[in-house]
Structure 1
């Protein structure tokens, strides 16, 4: 039987925690529902004294496994948002188990449940006005009689003011509201200490390549050899592994990135390689958001009366300039985020290559990340010292960190390419 936690790969401890919390939440909900039954009706339906359903100790123990605020942490690809979405579905499950088959599970997983709201930032941050509106709606009584759930998939992008608005809601929660936050870590740079202190943390780990390959084989029907290669190349990221296995364009982009070390033959070549990497990321991002941008603009223009011939249609369009400008601002922010995400994927691939070179140099008994370019890694290991390879790896990781702190991507990538060339 399918169940909501089936897609949470390689996280047995987290799944156990969430299943116990699901059972506790159902016990709490059932107890609250029983308290609202009229006394006469309750007298007719009370179970026998030795029935497990009436044991107060069990209810108390179960209740302690559930709380109103959770933080899911872990490296990219570990399944933070998958875990949060699955837990939200389990809380809305009509059977109280996270069965994966009922309407509550299906609508939550599809993102259409009336009592579950997903905050997926398209830009670089989540603003205070958006957070206040979401918190206000989440405080309402659940229409289905279960829970109001607010899922913030990138809580590390909350602005300070938005974080304060969320903190107030977590400090004074409504009885049937649950907050599920996803962040890379509990470091103060990712989530404020005050929010962290009021939440229960579910720490996820990078899934092993074997577990990812099994999912690709069993769920997606991908051949064993391709599944094993994609799982290793994706470094435990299930979504990336699926794209590499299925998307020829994703494979071509990866191959272009892994060819960069051989192109670094001088200062000019370094700047050319940096431009190629930036241009590729921009093109990938533009293709990813083009369809959505066009659909949003067309929908807004239609709502504002574009193409209309009636009285006032022309003046309505002229007065809509502010709304169109706001849409363009949001779309520009989304495009910037998409560019940075595409660039980060390329840097992760590049870091994996230098990691492979280092393991060859040190004869480390570990499997390579990029099995298809193992020969190139071996050649590089014969030319570079382990210290030089480590400096190159640190340059790639430093570039990722610089971009996250809002250094201009082109400047950060150019500096990285020069460091890679010099060693």
Structure 2
């Protein structure tokens, strides 16, 4: 089993990215080597956000011994840190403007003012232009740290003004070792979770520690493999959307209630008391934010389902080309072999193309059930309705 190093400030939550840590540690220690803006890219689960926070802590702290400042930054409470992580579908232009305005303030307590934007790929072009202005003429002691899956997710004008740092993707065995060390789960469960999560550390940890998530994933994949006709399409698509909806509610409901109670306590309103008009606008704003978060949570849940389906049909393609050394869904391998023998590879590739199209459709607010029904029709028929319309 791969060993897991003991945590050390501020890099303790960064794992498996030694080259990136060395580069950023050196930049934080040498003002002459420091760029005014960085873009950290890597696949989901590669550790972009923990690395950004660790770099921010190293920049703001007075040195390796300034652990108090580092802990403040890592907790998100230091005055010289501004961090934006959207829980909506996009970063709103008002949020970007607020970040840009704060970037022009000098550091108040630390060496630098650091602006961290974790979801830079969720900016529209108009919002990106707000950020571009802040990057063109940054103050001397302000450093921007952007995070995105790929540099291609940002406008070329922004890419030209940042230093790109690409993270590596860890191996399944490395993720499994980390999850086993963090959670204490059985090594076999950790390995399965790392494999099913396709090396996404956060998702692997959830699968390893939440049996219901493991069962839900297995039922979804077996359900899709069992689809034979239109009646199955409607039933399975409905089950998938309902499961994703229930999962999203489970993740957001408790937090929503706690936020509402906290707001009412802050303004001195007891439980069950009448809400005065002056507070209603604050509650409405909170509820609007929560609705955006719920929508994002549902989309993220459906995107995880599509990622799992992508792994399923990717495995089939691998078997069709006699490449079975790196199968993700080993528990279903006999069913996958049967499908691989029965289908031509072109049909499997058509399904994979439609999975990508479905992901794009959901980002454009297409009704989830209809999008998944269309995808499952492709699984049944071997041809994509979208492809036929384009033809």
TM-score by length of 2: 0.88
CA distance in structure 2 between the aligned counterparts of 1:416 and 1:232, rounded to whole angstroms: 24
Corresponding residue to 2:27 among 21, 30, 42: 21
Matched, 1:285 2:285: no
Structure 1 residue 305: Cα displacement = 5.1
Instruction: Deviation per CA, 1:153-190: give whole Å up to 9, x if none.
Output: 10122244432222222112122111111112222xx2
Give the equivalent residue in structure 2 for 1:258. 221
Bigger Cα Rg? 1
The secondary structure found in structure 2 opposite 1:144 is coil
Give the equivalent residue in structure 2 for 1:8. 14
Matched, 1:75 2:43: yes
Give the equivalent residue in structure 2 for 1:407. 366
CA distance in structure 2 between the aligned counterparts of 1:392 and 1:283, rounded to whole angstroms: 26
Range 173-182 or range 140-149, more displaced: 140-149
CA distance in structure 1 between the aligned counterparts of 2:331 and 2:75, rounded to whole angstroms: 36
Q: 1:19 to 1:366 in 2, by over 3 A?
A: farther
CA distance in structure 2 between the aligned counterparts of 1:308 and 1:15, rounded to whole angstroms: 48
Give the equivalent residue in structure 2 for 1:132. 97
Give the equivalent residue in structure 1 for 2:262. 299
Q: 1:223 to 1:177 in 2, by over 3 A?
A: same
Give the equivalent residue in structure 2 for 1:330. 289
Alignment of 1:257-276 (within 5 A): 257-276=220-239
Instruction: Deviation per CA, 1:132-164: give whole Å up to 9, x if none.
Output: 223333332323231111111101222444322
Corresponding residue to 2:173 among 180, 205, 210: 210
Structure 1 residue 20: Cα displacement = 2.1
Matched, 1:243 2:243: no
Structure 1 residue 250: Cα displacement = 1.4
Q: Is the 8 A contact 2:119 2:147 kept in 1?
A: yes
CA distance in structure 2 between the aligned counterparts of 1:341 and 1:72, rounded to whole angstroms: 21
Q: Give 5+ residue unaligned stretches, structure 2.
A: 1-5, 383-391
Q: 1:113 to 1:249 in 2, by over 3 A?
A: farther
Q: Is the 8 A contact 2:183 2:209 kept in 1?
A: no
Range 367-376 or range 330-339, more displaced: 367-376
Q: 1:223 to 1:308 in 2, by over 3 A?
A: closer
The secondary structure found in structure 1 opposite 2:49 is helix
CA distance in structure 2 between the aligned counterparts of 1:67 and 1:20, rounded to whole angstroms: 12
Q: Give 5+ residue unaligned stretches, structure 1.
A: 29-62
Matched, 1:222 2:181: no
Instruction: Deviation per CA, 1:343-363: give whole Å up to 9, x if none.
Output: 111111111111112212211
The secondary structure found in structure 1 opposite 2:164 is strand
The secondary structure found in structure 2 opposite 1:259 is helix
CA distance in structure 2 between the aligned counterparts of 1:296 and 1:365, rounded to whole angstroms: 48
Instruction: Deviation per CA, 1:95-147: give whole Å up to 9, x if none.
Output: 34xx7x82232222222223222211121122222222233333323232311
Q: Is the 8 A contact 2:43 2:169 kept in 1?
A: yes
Q: 1:129 to 1:144 in 2, by over 3 A?
A: same
Q: 1:159 to 1:320 in 2, by over 3 A?
A: farther
Structure 1 residue 227: Cα displacement = 2.0
Q: Is the 8 A contact 1:119 1:152 kept in 2?
A: yes
Q: 1:5 to 1:145 in 2, by over 3 A?
A: closer
Structure 1 residue 271: Cα displacement = 1.3
Give the equivalent residue in structure 2 for 1:111. 76
CA distance in structure 2 between the aligned counterparts of 1:111 and 1:250, rounded to whole angstroms: 30
Matched, 1:393 2:356: no
Q: C-alpha root-mean-square deviation of aligned residues, in Å?
A: 2.4
Range 345-354 or range 398-407, more displaced: 398-407
CA distance in structure 1 between the aligned counterparts of 2:170 and 2:53, rounded to whole angstroms: 18
Structure 1 residue 368: Cα displacement = 1.0
Corresponding residue to 1:339 among 284, 294, 298: 298
Matched, 1:348 2:313: no
